[in-house]
Structure 1
Amino acid sequence: MSSSTQDLIPQLQLGNTFGALFIGVIIATMLFGLTNVQAFFYFQAHKGTGITFNKLAVLWLWILDALHMFLIVHCIYYYLVTNYANISALTIIVWSFKLQIIIDVLIVYGVHVLYAYRIWLVAKGRSRALPITVGIIVILASGVAISMIWAVYQCRMFSDLVKIEWSTYLTLATVTFVDLVIASSLCYLLATSRTGFSNTDSIITKFMAYIINTGCLTSICSMTAVITCAAMPNNFVFLGVEFLLAKLYVNSFLALLNARSYLQPTTDTNNNSSDMHMRHAVYRPELNIKASQDEESQGSRKNTFKHSGDEVMHITRSAVPHRPIEVTVETNSFSSV
């Protein structure tokens, strides 16, 4: 063993360096398991809707998340197994560590783009100033992430990461700011969609709670990485926290997609046929006309929260009110919001 390696051994604290990365990978595997559960639940809930944009988005995020999981596991395996007791190898940044940062950025800003797209859809029929502003902010924020990737790829040793702390602070602070903009924009659009009906307003309130909670969770993770990097720049605790960031973003978006299935009451539908026919013996317009008007008004506002593959019911009534009529219900799928 060389004298330089002997001098390095007393200074190397495996507990708060590669031990912190190992703990981060363990927690990341748990979150990846949760990603699998949520993706499976989404595909099961929408298995009869064909190929939709949301399904492709979920599949793409799952592939990126699985690739990110593979890279961080390879990183830990390289340092703790392949180069076990090889102290000199622990100071060099392996290729999988650098590549996982690129995948991390693709996941985070991919989720931001998907949120911006949902804001665009929810704002349909209103002013486009808010969704356009959010889209511009997301695009500008991606430039900050690209600068961080460039700075990391200039580093060869872990000691070089201390020199580019500015990129870590700037990127994570930008991510937190974008989270705040997206969450506040969605909450504003939902709050202005209140109808006055207790059931609809209750669903809107629950959606807002989902958005705030998921946005706070990712923002807390980003700020924790910033704080640990500033307080402990000479260890890898902040890197272990960053391993969790991509997993939290994927789970937050999947949770929002599945939120309607959690919140909406289940209804009995016939999935084997595109048309449903309901026959009523007697139709009394004096009792049902006001209720039908309320239902149509409420239904038009509920379309804001429908996802891909949801079904809308159109009721066709006979013009003769004094005899039994046939009510035909047609189910059509439409694009998600």
Structure 2
Amino acid sequence: MPATVVSPPDPTIGAMLIGSILGAVAYGFTASQGYMYYTRSLKEPLPIRLFVFATWLFDTANTAFMTHMQYHYFLNNYANPAAFMTPVWSLVAMVLLTAVVSFMVRAMFIRSVYQMSYQNPVPAIILGLLSSFNLVCGVIATVKFLGIEDGDFQNIKVFVYLDFVSAIAADISVAAALLVYLRSHKGASVKTQSMLQKLQMYIIGTGSLTVVIAVVALITFAAMPHKFVFLTPFMIWSKFYTNALLSSLNTAKRANDAVVSVSLNNVTTPRYPGQLAGSNNTQSGQITTGPEITIQRITESDEDLKASYPLGKGL
């Protein structure tokens, strides 16, 4: 009986494995941020905590599907390169979950824009429409992925482009709106101004990361649509959305923490009631001179700082 000739696998399938490893590492950072949030936000309203938990849960499911995808291709279909030509259901589910996670994270930041604009609905509506369009593109791309056979990506290229481009446009718009409103607000204290500046840096950092990842995925898919290189940035994409939300929540939580200041002033105070400071009485123990310790609890409650909280003033 003639031996069966197995064609060699595409050399870029390693990008899928690299994406899984990087995705697992990124999920570790996300889990750490989530632990920090839930141990420090016991007083947060329940709807907020549930919404954040749902976002983290979707990202966790995304990571589980990523693991299943690796098992399907590299173990169940070992020495079967043809299996890579058809997307497994877990890969298709990752496309949908990434769209859902990005939509939920943007919704939180759009609410912050709404609060910082003094509840002006126009900016929030515009940003919401952009984000909703990206969600629709993600759902359509998911459906189109289900119909792929023999690695034919020609019929879905337009929808993949729309998914990436709409995500880039929505992320840039939301980040720009947050920066504009944060810069227009002036805190009442140095502490407030400092924390607003830190929030701006977090927005620039986390927002630029999601945009850069989307741009890299878009370029690699456009240049090599029949290769697997674009999967490396795509598989870590949702992790950076979730991490952007949790890290900004933790930063804003620290911004709202109380500041305790201790002032030490050398004053002359009587040891016993009724003794007057500066008395000429020389009896031992009646007059003492020492530091007076004053503890003052200062709480940053500026409306500008509250509005900068990505969840606004509460649901």
Task: Provide TM-score, normalisation by structure 2.
Answer: 0.79
Residue of 30, 34, 37 corresponding to 1:35: 30
Q: Using the alignment, how far apart are the partners of 1:58 and 1:297 within structure 2?
A: 24
Q: Using the alignment, how far apart are the partners of 1:103 and 1:54 within structure 2?
A: 20
Q: Using the alignment, how far apart are the partners of 1:135 and 1:86 within structure 2?
A: 44
The alignment partner of 1:80 has SS state of helix
Asked if 1:74 is matched to 2:68, the reply is: yes
Q: Using the alignment, how far apart are the partners of 1:27 and 1:298 within structure 2?
A: 39
Aligned-partner residue type, residue 9 of structure 1 = S
The alignment partner of 2:152 has SS state of helix
Cα RMSD after superposing both structures: 2.7
1:218 matched residue in structure 2: 210
Structure 1 unaligned segments of length 5 or more: list them: 269-294, 309-333
1:20 matched residue in structure 2: 15
* Within-5 A mapping of 1:57-206: 57-124=51-118, 127-157=120-150, 159-195=151-187, 197-206=189-198
> Per-residue CA shift, 1:61-91, capped at 9, x if unaligned?
1111111111111011111111211333333
> Structure 1 residues 2, 261: CA separation in 2 closer, same or farther (over 3 Å shift)?
farther
Which stretch of structure 1 is more off in the superposition, 165-174 or 131-140? Answer: 131-140
The alignment partner of 1:161 has SS state of coil
Q: Using the alignment, how far apart are the partners of 1:302 and 1:241 within structure 2?
A: 34
Q: Using the alignment, how far apart are the partners of 1:297 and 1:199 within structure 2?
A: 8
Which stretch of structure 1 is more off in the superposition, 65-74 or 196-205? Answer: 196-205
Aligned-partner residue type, residue 175 of structure 1 = A
Between structures 1 and 2, the one with greater helix share? 1
The alignment partner of 1:16 has SS state of helix
Q: Using the alignment, how far apart are the partners of 2:61 and 2:19 within structure 1?
A: 16
- Preserved CA contact (<8 Å) 1:162 1:234: no
> Per-residue CA shift, 1:245-265, capped at 9, x if unaligned?
111111111111111245566
- Preserved CA contact (<8 Å) 2:100 2:135: no
- Preserved CA contact (<8 Å) 2:102 2:238: yes
Asked if 1:259 is matched to 2:262, the reply is: no
Asked if 1:304 is matched to 2:304, the reply is: no
Q: Using the alignment, how far apart are the partners of 1:255 and 1:297 within structure 2?
A: 20
- Preserved CA contact (<8 Å) 1:307 1:336: no
- Preserved CA contact (<8 Å) 2:192 2:305: yes
> Structure 1 residues 303, 100: CA separation in 2 closer, same or farther (over 3 Å shift)?
closer
- Preserved CA contact (<8 Å) 1:195 1:298: no
Q: Using the alignment, how far apart are the partners of 1:261 and 1:117 within structure 2?
A: 17
> Which structure has the larger Rg over C-alpha atoms?
2
> Structure 1 residues 262, 128: CA separation in 2 closer, same or farther (over 3 Å shift)?
same
The alpha carbon displacement at 1:266 in A equals 5.4
2:7 matched residue in structure 1: 9
Aligned-partner residue type, residue 109 of structure 2 = Y
2:289 matched residue in structure 1: none
- Preserved CA contact (<8 Å) 2:206 2:244: yes
The alpha carbon displacement at 1:267 in A equals 3.9
Q: Using the alignment, how far apart are the partners of 1:2 and 1:64 within structure 2?
A: 49
The alpha carbon displacement at 1:156 in A equals 2.9
Structure 2 unaligned segments of length 5 or more: list them: 261-297
- Preserved CA contact (<8 Å) 1:152 1:164: yes
Q: Using the alignment, how far apart are the partners of 2:254 and 2:196 within structure 1?
A: 13
Identity of aligned residues (%): 23
Aligned residue-pair number: 278
Aligned-partner residue type, residue 148 of structure 2 = C
> Structure 1 residues 16, 200: CA separation in 2 closer, same or farther (over 3 Å shift)?
same
- Preserved CA contact (<8 Å) 2:17 2:70: yes
The alpha carbon displacement at 1:196 in A equals 6.3
Which stretch of structure 1 is more off in the superposition, 134-143 or 184-193? Answer: 134-143
2:291 matched residue in structure 1: none
The alignment partner of 1:236 has SS state of coil
- Preserved CA contact (<8 Å) 1:306 1:336: no
